[in-house]
Amino acid sequence: MPDPRSYFVKTFGCQMNVYDSERMAELLEAEGHTQAASAEDADIVVLNTCHIRERASEKVYSEIGRLKHRDGPKPIVAVAGCVAQAEGAEIVRRAPAVDVVVGPQAYHRLPDLIARAKERPVETDLPTLEKFEALGKRRKAAPSSFLTIQEGCDKFCTYCVVPYTRGAEVSRPAAAILEEARRLAGEGAREIVLLGQNVNAYRHDRTDFAALIAEVAAIEGVARIRYTTSHPADMTDALIDAHRTIDKLMPYLHLPVQSGSNRVLKAMNRSHTAETYLAIIEKLRAARADMAISGDFIVGFPGETEAEFEDTLAIIRAAHYAQAYSFKYSARPGTPAADMDGQIDEDVKSDRLHRLQALVQEQQLAFNRAALGRTMPILLERPGKRDGQLIGKSPWLQSVYVDAGSTHIGDIVTVEIEGAFANSLAGRIAFAEAA
């Protein structure tokens, strides 16, 4: 056992990084280290980083700068995640404060790398699924817990770094996933969020994604199931049908389209068109009428014309989103789109982003307003800012603020919605048990 020290894991990027950070914390605790309140007072600081857009990957260097100028003894700094994978040894050259670099598929070796921090080791292998076998003791599970079932991506959208930072698409064996889901349920999870960069491409031996969901739904204690992120190409009829037949599967789907222009979609190497995408949404809503859809959009992809951007506004109007995330195209080194002609001015990108976000905001508000006066089951997940206030989630992933009364985090309660805003709802607990 090494000397017990305090650690802090700071997470950037997507839910898969959140999951990985939890796993790294467990590995460090298995070594006898204890969690510090913040990066400022930890002996070991792990920065779990994201490389998806330029601004995301720059954050790691400003964070390292902050740590370097911290008072007191210098911490051991480990850079993990997708920037670690993409930049590798370049990080130790550029940032003298960094002691360890570990990629997103190799973090099960973190304790050993920290023990060898003096050598400034760089570990960016992409071993298949090895990290999942090295789980430390599970900490208490959150009411809504992430569970990564699939890693990597084979889709190679021309703007995206993920296939390079996370490696090829691999699915975990169903038995290991189910065991982990049972363990999470045993530790208090009521909702399981199945994660993967292309979660709906999940397949292991004869288990496809729809079959896996059915097996997770059979676990006692699991009341809700979600999954993210899905690719339109893998939205099979069996999966759409699961939304009709499996009550525990929540009526909300994050289904990124990126653009409404078929020319741009083709240049992005997305395999769907605006029409096939909208047809999937129609099928989903036929399977389950109250299905809420969210999406991701990129504005200002190389060569995007004003008319093509307007096609994106048109698909948003046609899809009626409950939520959407939108980004200015960011050229990423090593991706095909970074070298394409017709890179768009920042001003034009900003203007398009504002227009798109204004439309999305309208849709989000309309979606939330439709909840006014209704009662719905809410999973209470965390404390609110005010004393006695809790924040929970509706089946449609809306955040709902309530006064807790005698109810607790982890309860599913019936709430009458009394307030609707662009990003949240407020309500009153009508029954302490969900109807």
**Could you give the residue ranges of the DSSP H alpha helices within 69-208?**
82-87, 89-94, 110-115, 130-133, 162-165, 174-186
CA 380 – CA 413 distance, rounded (Å): 8
8 is in an annotated binding site: no
50 is in an annotated binding site: yes
CA 102 – CA 14 distance, rounded (Å): 17
Site for ligand SAH in 295-324 (CB under 6 A): 296, 298
Residue 56 interacting with ligand SF4 (CB under 6 A): no
Total number of residues that touch ligand SAH (CB under 6 A):
17
The one-letter code for the residue type at 369 is R
Of 26-34, 80-88, 328-336, 397-405: span binding ligand SAH (CB under 6 A): 328-336
Judged by CB, which is closer to ligand SF4: 266, or 428? Answer: 266
Residue 156 interacting with ligand SF4 (CB under 6 A): yes
CB of 57 to ligand F3S, least distance (A): 8
CB of 160 to ligand SF4, least distance (A): 3
Residue 163 interacting with ligand SF4 (CB under 6 A): yes
309 is in an annotated binding site: no
86 contact, one of ligand F3S, ligand SF4, ligand SAH, none, CB 5-8 Å limit per kind: none
**Judged by CB under 6 A, which of 53, 59, 70, 203 binds ligand SAH?**
53
Q: Do β-strands 375-383 and 292-299 pair in parallel, antiparallel, or remain unpaired?
A: unpaired
The one-letter code for the residue type at 141 is A
Q: Which of 323, 304, 156 is nearest to 231 (CA)?
A: 156
Judged by CB, which is closer to ligand SAH: 40, or 296? Answer: 296
Q: How far apart are the first and last CA of the chain?
A: 50
303 contact, one of ligand SF4, ligand SAH, ligand F3S, none, CB 5-8 Å limit per kind: none
Residue with tokens 């997507």: 14
Q: Any residues with CB less than 8 A from the CB of 159 and at least 6 apart, and which?
A: 268, 298, 301, 329, 330, 332, 335, 337
Q: Do β-strands 252-254 and 292-299 pair in parallel, antiparallel, or remain unpaired?
A: parallel
Residue 373 has a CB neighbour count (10 Å cut-off) of 10
Site for ligand SF4 in 214-273 (CB under 6 A): 231
Q: Give the tokens for residue 287.
A: 């399977």
CB of 420 to ligand SF4, least distance (A): 31
Binding mask 210-249 for ligand SAH (x = CB under 6 A): -------------------x-x------------------
163 contact, one of ligand SAH, ligand F3S, ligand SF4, none, CB 5-8 Å limit per kind: ligand SF4
Residue 81 interacting with ligand F3S (CB under 6 A): yes
Q: Are 193 and 226 in contact (CB under 8 A)?
A: yes
CA 392 – CA 398 distance, rounded (Å): 8
Q: Nearest 5°: phi and psi at 170?
A: -135, 140
Q: Nearest 5°: phi and psi at 50?
A: -130, 140
Residue with tokens 């979660």: 199
157 is in an annotated binding site: yes
Task: Taking each helix axis as running N to C, give the angle between helix 237-245 and helix 209-217, from 0 to 180 degrees, rounded to the nearest 10.
Answer: 20
Site for ligand F3S in 15-34 (CB under 6 A): 16-17
14 is in an annotated binding site: yes
160 is in an annotated binding site: yes
Question: Which residues contribute to the site for ligand F3S (CB under 6 A)?
Answer: 13-14, 16-17, 50-52, 81-82, 161-162, 165-166
Question: Which residues contribute to the site for ligand SF4 (CB under 6 A)?
Answer: 153, 155-157, 160, 162-163, 197-198, 231
Question: Which residues contribute to the site for ligand SAH (CB under 6 A)?
Answer: 52-53, 159-160, 162, 197-198, 229, 231, 256, 258, 296, 298, 327, 329-330, 332
